[in-house]
Structure 1
Amino acid sequence: MKHSLPKRENQLSLISRMRYFLLILLIIFSQATWAQSGAVQGTVIDSNGDPLPGVNVVIKGTTNGTVTDLDGKYILNAASDDILIYSFVGFMSQEIPVEGRSEINVTLADDTSDLEEFVVVGYGIQRKSDLTGSISSVKAEELTRLPVSDVTQSLQGRVSGVQITSNSGAPGSGATVRIRGVGTLNNSDPLFVVDGMLLDNIDFLNPNDVESMEVLKDASATAIYGSRGANGVIIVTTRQGDFDTETRISVDAYTGVQQVARQIDLVNGRQFAELANELEQNVGNQPIYNEGEFGEGTNWQDQIFRTAPVNNVTLGASGGNQNTSFNLSVNYFDQKGVVKESEFERLTIRLNNQYKLTDAVTFGHNFSFIYNNQQNEPGVVGNAYRAYPIFDPINEDGDYTNTSPVGNPAAQFEYNSNNRNHSYRGVGNFFADVKFLKDFTFRTNLGLDLAFRDGKSFTPVYFVSPTQQNLENSVSVSNGRSRNILWENTVNYNTEWDDHRLNLLGGITTQSFYTESLSGSRRNLPGEDPSLWYLSAGDQTSQTNANTAGDWSMLSFLFRANYTFRDKFLVTGTFRRDGSSRFGRENRFGNFPSIALGYRLIEEGFMQDQTVFSDLKIRGSWGIIGNDKIAFYEGRPVVTGNQNAVFGQNEELLYGATLTRLANPFIQWEETVTSNFGLEFGMLDDRLIGEFDYYYRRTNDILVGVPIPAYVGASNNPVVNAASVENRGIDVTLNWRDNKGDFNYNLGIVASTVNNEVLDIGEGNEAIFGGAVGISGLLGSRTVVGESIGHYFGYKTAGVFQNEEQLNNTPTRGPEVPGDLIFEDTNGDGVVNNNDRVILGSPIPDLIFGFNMGFDFRGIDFSADFNGTLGNEIYNAKKQVRFNTYNFETSFLDRWTGEGTSTTEPRVTNGGHNYEVSDRFIEDGSFLRLRNVQVGYTFPAATLEKIRVQNFRLYVSGTNLFTISKYSGYTPEIGGGNVLGTGYDSGIYPIARTINVGVSANF
């Protein structure tokens, strides 16, 4: 019988109320008034007399200003005593007083020096020309093009050496980030640093709050973070206000629609009946369907997918007076999923303030409050893939149809979608800077990351079929909290004399982390109204609960020296000593040094008269970085309770506990030794800029489990420092920028190679297996010395047995019949067994690449971003798992039905020989995707002046518009999972194609 459940009322939720709050803020912001002044106009040209479009013309001490049009002309309201600042990238800025004039024409001189361009590095900033490390920077305008909830997804195809893979297309899902390959068998995620706060993820960030993201890749760049930087570092700088500037209001908003980019090719109703009958005949049964009764049938993918909206709005205000600066933003992100009953809402409020107590003392804070509301779809993607197309969702009686052997996806939406997860998070830091003596600065930084999570799900009583029913209703509740506290104190010495520049940094930091979770459930509630969805309403005898916790802490000492001589010779030395509670007292501390050298050839005398190179630098680095990203309990014994038994004459229930994990107090840091050689160049007046890097990473003393005898009684193998892994490859970045009068254009390419190899696993570990399970219980991923981590391992097929004669003359695994797959006898011993399994491919790409292009012409701008991989494979695990008769992919239509009919697709069966781990399920994972394309129009400054608007832009964008790939699944992007078993598609939530319309404006 069909049930119609009451849904929880959310109209008065915090998110709903904030919608009205945002609308009120927008109205208030739009009423900002502007001082009256006279009009100043003019033309800005370069030293050749050509007009310069896009020059910023700003009234000094304010944010009021405009930009020159395509003819270099501008018009601006300014008072007689104002000073105008003219600035443009690649040219020297000028400050010119108005002095009552109504026309001011300006010539900007070329700025051929890049010495004043700064980039963010660990614990500070540094001249780009002085960098000795491999650092890539991505600015704000490149990060806000994509409608994503996780800002790391915006890095796809933008940074060499970085692979970003979406874990899922579900609303609010994150991404897997790998910087220069997989360097450990454990956690390979990078460190994230947001305004100085060290974090494990940045999924809470509003992309519009980000000013820039720097990716630190080699030891020279990451060693200052010691053990935290073993897998690379991503530094995020958020937007700040300016002292002594008027308040500036900004609005960024878009709305869009999402659709599934492609569906999996599944058979229709008639084809299913044909294949199902044939399957029955192949096992000696009679056909069960009249094939003529069925037509197209039900496409279950159409039943679960929908066109879904996505909306995003950010309101911001920034400015400051002589002693205070501020940047305030409020963001609301709302994404409905392309699978029904899935959605994600996020409210983010960020406030960044700085305060000047004196010329020598400044303090401030960067803080965000984040509220998330998420609903997860009830696991229908796999059932929609397997459900019979001969069934309708609803039968003639109006009840849900029995679609056994899998659940009816439509009924799942009705009965299994009452779940909500909420989270509250506060992330930020409080800091103070004190300048003392002549060249010293002391900074103290207190970082906080406090998170609270709660979830609730309710399942009613229902009956659809014997395999899809629930006889007692139930409610499950979970709560969790975590606390991450960082305190850093550093001293910086920065000085210049004659041809020398010297920067010294020293400090001490401490960080602690604590997490705890509590969950419980009860059954048999007295009703189904949401007011009863609480544990106390359920049957006490059905109660279950769980409570876990973990903690760790770290103490670190750090030092760095940067020295530059004559803008030509560069030296960077770094040392960090980390102590982690994750290790025993014997090996708690680790030392992590690095050294880097750079040589700017462009400063040599013999380079001064040439006109090809505008910049040329070589650099090299070496260093050791640690890794302590292991589970809390790896170095500690674990005792598990509830090991109860009945003993004695009175048969009493005795409560017990047992040791389930042995401790190893002697485990120590994983150490990654990294070397890097790089070449940076600029050519043709910096129209072409490029970087080439060769890197080598070797991680030693990787923690792995060592097998122990079963009689010991521990369920898990104790860990030891045993394995070694190396990664080596080349990173390439090329960017071309030029202008032809009113037409400005750019082209960019990034590409990276990755060669991953396991050098050692440790005594007693001939191989580590993981991944999907074959029909005989053999796992499909293997990690072994001499090969890449987590490669696919199974049988290589050599066609399909056509007849008994071929079967009798070919080595078999048994018991095969004509129509079954031929597994190669790879070792030539005349028998096919486990020893004949071979490497079938790897989920690690040989090449990661991306390229982008764009132009602007008289207010019109266009940009396109592509990304892709080459040389990786995907394991189609959903096709392999057949423990019953399920629907079929259309590839089954090419199956063997008799001698000569097929040499690739075997006869139709469920399970058995043809579903062993083999190359039958390996598919090419290479792809090329149009990640984003955007077209916008910025209204002329002269028009906007009349309505007192500084900037107004409209745009249309498309995301994931097309993907060129041979893979048969929803997407070739298969992220997440353990590093020992990645690349398996067991039914991933599809990634959506999105079309957006947006607006950005400044007042």
Structure 2
Amino acid sequence: MKRIFTISVLVLFCFFFANTSFAQNAPVKGKVTDAATGEALIGVSVSIKGTTTGAQTDVNGAFTLTAPLDATLVFTYIGYTTLSLPVNNQTQLTVKLQAEAKELQQVVVIGYGTQRKRDVTGSVASVNGNLLAKQPVQTATQALQGKVSGVQVLSSGRPNSSPILRIRGTGSVLAGANPLYVVDGVLTDDIRNINSNDILSLDVLKDASAAIYGVRGANGVVIITTKKGKSGPAVVSYDATVGFREVANQVKLADRAQYVDYLKDASPTKIASDDKAPLTIPGTTDWAKEVTRRAFTTNHNISVAGGGETNTYFISANYFDDQGVIKTNGFQRFTLRANNDINISKKLKFSEQLSLSRAAERTIDLNAIYGNVYRAAPIIPAIQDGKYGNTSAWSNVSNPLLQLDKANRFTLGNRVQGNVALDYKPISSLTLHSAFNADIKFNNQKNYQYQFLSDNNTFTVGGGNQNQNNSSLFVQNDDSYQYTWDNTITFDKSYGNHHITVLGGMVTEKFKSNFLNGTRQDVPANQDQWYLNLGNPDVNAKDDNGGGLFTRQSFVGRVNYGYANKYLISGSFRRDGSSKFNQHWGNFYTVGGGWVISEESFMKDNHIFDQLKLRASYGKLGNDNIDQALYIITATSNLPYYFNNGTLNLGSVIQDIKNTNLKWETTAQFDLGLDFAFLNNRLSGEVDYYNKKVSNALTKVGLPGILGDPDNTYITNAASYSNKGFEVGLKWNDKINDKLSYNVGANISYNKNNVIGLNGGQALFGGGINSRQVTKTDNGHPIGSYFVLQSTGVFQNAAEVAAAPTNSFEANKIGGLKYADIDNNGIIDANDRIYAGSYQPKYYGGFNFGVNYNSFDLSADFTGNWGNKIYNGKKNSRGTENDNIEASYADSRFTTAKPSNTDPNVITGSTPPSTYFIESGAYLRLNNLTLGYTLKSELLKRANISRLRFYLTSQNLFTLKRYSGSSPELFNDDVNTGITEAGIDNVNYPVTRTFAFGVNLQF
């Protein structure tokens, strides 16, 4: 890895210092302006063609450089068309740059190639990398929230968490619903190593156009293209943010008085017991405050880009540091990137994109820490005189602060990602492309649990039932590599009004992983001695190893045809072979058509529409995101068996029943869309309708108990799901005068998810609360629908209790919850459960606006969703009667002095899941607010600084919601929750709010 990096850096610096201009020179001056508005353009790169010599325009758009009088100057500027202008013996030039074509003219990445957006027949959304880099977040997809219709993003305040994306609804339960990411041709499921400042564009394939990726494209594809250099002098950029994060919307828990008052009803025996020591200690412990902090965060990025006549380069370095708001939690990442293009000859080009990242993370056991924060008794001190409060002695959960301080979970990760490629053009219309893409990971994990005992004065009160009798060390080393070898041929040619592009090729992919871990006790507490061989191998020592291997072989093809820039036809085909299935091969395709109505003669003089395009597509995609051994029957070894004579023998037996004929899930999707722009391109947008059906989805089917399978089920292709919806996106851009301009954007999506056929499969239950399931995935309802009792109020008196049906979960009592007897059999039991909504929103979207006035800029991004529900699992999940409660519930619950018909007297471990715990998940959040100022002065010109901007930014400034919990955006990333448990708020990392100061510097 060091050798690869060293070679790359040496090559870049050779390019950087190369200069081939030796001609006789003379001073050339000029001014560069916007061709439409006449406004001076600051920071335009001016270079002498064929050399790296050049300059940049100052605050007045002026430039001066020494150049041969017969030279050609090249003017490049982001958002404008590159202009080549001969000097022709002139010493004074007036240069006007044309703004690049509007949105429908921009180029988007469609997989194994690019296409003008106006020629695209599928639903492809594109976001400029500069918009993503504005937000102080680690991962670019988090900055994508609310910006693209049809794309729902769920993020967490937890450092190094990977946002969850749902493109046009949830399309799978057991095979995963996350999209495929493609970074400069590298296929991956994780982009946390990518520096947002390095991203040029992010394109989302939402419809069947993703079929070009075959069995990887069923859940949509996110294509990330990183930046490259441009011919001209070196441009150095430095971008930095420094700020802090804090807990936002922390749920207030009951204080001492509220908690003790609650115990009188919930645990009267505890109040009356002899052990009342905690009740005599004054004050209230705010457990959330004890384990959290205001966390520092910073992000620094420096890049150098440029090039000569035959080469371009882009090199960057990034340092990202994000302390977690939970104490001891934190993440640091250092990233290097080198992107190079070399024109070896007029026909042959070599390109390379290389990213090296090194990340260090100190993680926490979220369930043990923040899960216990909600339950820990506020009458127990967190720590006092150096001793921890013994919450366990109060028959409560473990002390969260103790669990935090006495554990060190550290992970160090190294990742190499990138590709090398050759492009050969024997003729202008034909390109032969070969690229080798690799993604290599090396990770080391160490989890150390410190010893703590009651006999060394660890605890303030109570006995030692919270002891950690032995220190323990867990170590795991794991590595993986994945490579993809793409070989494609592209023919691109125009014949009069006809334009045709044909792509054909072959893709080979291989993935392999290995891990080795071990556990030892009594390892010394000194971090320099955290090695397994220093522990006791005779006490609970454990070692394990494993890994995985799978391969894919694919053949791809695509044809795009256009006539007179107004009639469009496209089609793609991919044949995939995957080692994850016994039936290896499958075929996937898409067809599409488009009509650019605005190009018709009868629309030329309409003076309304500048661009109007109707498009439609249909195709079939695949999903092979399953374990590589799911269809392979294996035997469990070393199982004891007793013969008739009583002799114990160890043997092997097949325990798990598996379907050897498993195949990939398939998704058929139809899309109908309209793209438009009018009012001189100030208003643009798109409207889409889609119908997506997943068939052959993996689900569980019941087995007779006699077959001996542990859970009497096996996984097979026996389910179908559907997602239908509409998407609308609008953008407005306008310039009032030379000083004032503004933009407004909005998008909204409607999606209806439905299980349409289990075909003999069993309904899938999920989301356990107090050993009871909360969700049920079954025909006619959305995936992960809540399936609970219907709460009808609170018993007010003895007469209501006597007249009520018998409750099989807990005894009916005054102040207890009442439930509807759905089957009218006089008993409240599991047969009375009803469907009560799901976490999947019916509507989601966002809107944004930006204003530029003189040197000031202001922007805001909002995001939200409507029509979904949340199950407040923290209220329902009570391990003991001595667990704490929320302050709002303490004030509103039923008491004799203050009866309530909505909130029960107490909630115990016997309280069944019901609609009482279901709340609205609708919200609207100000996701980002940024105020910036660009400094313009002669001093900057003298210092060769082309741009200097300062700004203040805030992430998650406020949220409008009806949900009583901390956030309606749930992200259960530490408790291994699946798709069917997504809407249960049980243990979540605290929602964070960010304030930061930033600077953008370019010279």
Q: TM-score, normalised by structure 1?
A: 0.91
Q: Say which of 350, 364, 368 aligns to 2:351.
A: 364
What is the letter of the counterpart of residue 762 of structure 1?
N
5 Å-filtered alignment, 1:825-974, equals 825-884=821-880, 885-890=882-887, 891-898=889-896, 901-912=899-910, 915-940=911-936, 942-974=938-970
The structural deviation recorded for 1:198 is 1.1
Question: Which residue pairs with 1:761 in the alignment?
Answer: 758
Tell me the equivalent position of 1:10.
none
Q: Distance in 2 between matches of 1:528 and 1:107?
A: 69
Cα separation, 2, equivalents of 1:477 and 1:719: 33
Task: Check whether the contact 1:52–1:68 (CA below 8 A) recurs between aligned residues.
Answer: no
Which residue matches 1:1002?
1002
Q: Are the structure 2 counterparts of residues 941 and 79 from structure 1 closer, same or farther at C-alpha, using a change threshold of 3 Å?
A: farther
Tell me, which stretches of 5 or more residues in structure 2 are unaligned? 454-458
Answering whether residue 767 of structure 2 is matched by residue 771 of structure 1, we say: yes
Structure 1 481/642 Cα, relative in aligned 2: closer, same or farther at 3 Å? farther
* CA displacement, residues 785-825 of structure 1 (integer Å, 9 cap, x when unaligned): 00000011101101011122112222232421111100111
Matched-pair identity in %: 34
Task: Identify the residue that residue 9 of structure 1 maps to in structure 2.
Answer: none
In structure 2, the CA distance between the partners of 1:764 and 1:362, relative to structure 1 (3 Å rule), is closer
* Aligned counterpart, 1:170: 158
Could you tell me which amino acid in structure 2 is paired with residue 681 of structure 1? F
1:599 has 2:586 as partner: no
User: Cα offset for 1:295?
Assistant: 6.4
Asked if the contact 1:931–1:960 (Cα under 8 Å) also holds between the matched residues in 2, the reply is yes
Q: Which amino acid aligns with 1:433?
A: D
1:695 aligned to 2:690?
A: yes
Which one of the candidate residues 409, 413, 417 is aligned to 1:419?
A: 409
Q: Distance in 2 between matches of 1:550 and 1:66?
A: 53
Partner of 2:945, secondary structure, is: coil
Q: What SS does the aligned partner of 2:296 have?
A: strand
* 1:248 shift after superposition: 2.1
**Corresponding residue to 2:374 among 374, 377, 385:** 385
| 2:981 alignment counterpart | 981
* Cα drift, residue 59 of structure 1: 3.3
1:445-490 C-alpha deviation (Å, 9 max, x unpaired): 1111111111112222202453421111111111111111111111
The answer to whether structure 1 residue 672 and structure 2 residue 667 are counterparts is yes
**Amino acid aligned to 2:264:** N
Is 2:146–2:863's contact at 8 Å kept on the other side of the alignment?
yes
Conserved? CA contact 2:579–2:628, under 8 Å = no
User: Structure 1 residue 228 and structure 2 residue 216: aligned?
Assistant: yes
**Equivalent residue number for residue 456 of structure 2:** none
Q: Which amino acid aligns with 1:455?
A: Q
Alignment of 1:88-487 (within 5 A): 94-98=83-87, 103-106=92-95, 117-166=106-155, 168-186=156-174, 187-219=176-208, 221-242=209-230, 244-281=231-268, 297-379=284-366, 380-395=369-384, 398-404=386-392, 405-416=396-407, 418-463=408-453, 464=459, 465-487=463-485
User: How far has the Cα of 1:278 moved from its partner?
Assistant: 2.5
State whether residues 432 and 444 of structure 1, in contact with CA within 8 Å, keep that contact through their aligned partners in structure 2: yes
Could you tell me whether the CA contact under 8 Å between 1:80 and 1:100 is conserved in 2? no
Q: C-alpha displacement at 1:204, in angstroms?
A: 1.0
Cα distance in structure 1, aligned partners of 2:79 and 2:303: 29
Contact 2:34 2:99 in 1 (8 A): no
**Cα offset for 1:925?**
1.4
Change (3 A) 1:924 1:98: same
Q: Structure 1 residues 115 and 925 mapped into 2: Cα distance closer, same or farther (>3 Å)?
A: closer
Measured against aligned partners, the alpha-carbon deviations of 1:47-73 in whole angstroms (never above 9, x if no partner) come to: 6x754666946335459554686xxx4
Shift in Å, 1:690: 0.6
Give the aligned partner of residue 516 of structure 1.
514
Q: Which amino acid aligns with 1:445?
A: A
Q: 1:353 to 1:87 in 2, by over 3 A?
A: closer
Q: 1:63 to 1:620 in 2, by over 3 A?
A: farther
Distance 2:225 2:101 in 1: 27
Secondary structure class of the residue paired with 1:663: coil
1:923 Cα deviation after fit: 1.8
1:176-196, Cα deviation, whole Å (9 max, x unpaired) = 111000111220111111111
Q: Is the 8 A contact 1:55 1:86 kept in 2?
A: no
In structure 1, what is the Cα distance between the partners aligned to 2:229 and 2:736? 35
Paired residues of 1:269 and 1:294 also in contact (CA < 8 A) = no
- State the alpha-carbon separation in 1 of the partners of residues 131 and 428 from structure 2: 39
**Structure 2 counterpart SS, 1:257:** strand
The number of equivalent residue pairs is: 960
Letter in 2 for 1:756: N
- Find the counterpart in structure 1 of residue 699 from structure 2: 704
CA distance in structure 1 between the aligned counterparts of 2:274 and 2:679, rounded to whole angstroms: 74
Q: Does 1:796 align with 2:790?
A: yes
CA distance in 2, matches of 1:112, 1:540: 69
- Kept in 1, the 8 Å contact 2:40–2:61? The answer is no
The alignment's TM-score, normalised by the length of structure 2, stands at 0.91
User: Aligned to 2:568, which of 548, 567, 570?
Assistant: 570
Q: CA deviation at 1:87?
A: 6.7
State the distance in 2 between where 1:940 and 1:195 align: 36
> In structure 2, what residue type is equivalent to 1:430?
V
Question: Match for residue 535 of structure 1?
Answer: 532
Distance 1:256 1:148, change over 3 A: same
Amino acid at match of 1:265: K
Distance 2:101 2:337 in 1: 37
CA RMSD for the aligned pairs?
2.9
Aligned-pair CA distance for 1:376: 0.9
Question: CA offset at residue 841 of structure 1?
Answer: 1.8
User: 1:554 maps to what in 2?
Assistant: 552
Q: What secondary structure, in the 3-state scheme, does the structure 2 residue paired with 1:611 have?
A: coil
Q: What residue number does 1:11 align with?
A: none
Q: Which moved more, 1:939-948 or 1:631-640?
A: 939-948
Write the distance in 1 (CA, Å) between the matches of 2:400 and 2:816: 32
Segment drifting more, 702-711 vs 841-850: 702-711
Check the 8 A contact 1:824/1:832 in 2, yes or no.
yes
**Structure 1 residues 335 and 320, CA, compared in 2 at 3 Å: closer, same or farther?**
same
5+ residue gaps, structure 1, are 1-13
Partners of 1:67 and 1:614 lie apart in 2 by: 33
Whether the 8 Å contact between 1:812 and 1:822 is mirrored in structure 2 is no
Quick one: distance in 2 between partners of 1:649 and 1:150?
A: 64
Contact 1:282 1:908 in 2 (8 A): no
- 1:198 and 1:391 map into 2 onto residues whose CA distance is 51
* Residues 76-87 of structure 1 aligned to structure 2 (within 5 Å): 76-81=63-68, 83-85=72-74
Secondary structure, aligned partner of 1:660: coil
Q: Secondary structure at the match of 2:980?
A: coil
Cα deviation digits, residues 315-334 of structure 1 (max 9, x gap): 21122233332211111111
Q: 1:65 to 1:871 in 2, by over 3 A?
A: farther
TM superposition shift of 1:648: 8.7
Distance 2:249 2:506 in 1: 52
Report the CA distance between 1:769 and its aligned residue. 0.4
Q: How many Å apart are 1:293 and its aligned residue?
A: 5.9
Task: Give the letter for the 2:886 counterpart.
Answer: E
Report the CA distance shift for 1:248/1:67 in structure 2 as closer, same or farther (over 3 A): closer
2:581 corresponds to: 583
- Alpha-carbon distance in 2 for matches of 1:209, 1:113: 23
CA contact under 8 A between 1:507 and 1:558: conserved in structure 2?
Answer: yes
Going from structure 1 to structure 2, the CA distance change for 1:780 and 1:692 (only over 3 Å counts) comes to same
Describe the shift of the 1:811–1:63 C-alpha distance in structure 2 as closer, same or farther (beyond 3 A). Answer: farther
2:505 touches 2:555 (CA, 8 Å); kept in 1? yes
Deviation at 1:899, TM superposition (A): 8.3
**Contact 1:863–1:935 (8 Å) recurs in 2:** yes
Deviation string for 1:135-192 (max 9, x for gaps)?
00001111112222222111111111001101x3221111111100011122011111
Report if aligned partners of 1:706, 1:764 keep a CA contact under 8 Å in 2.
yes
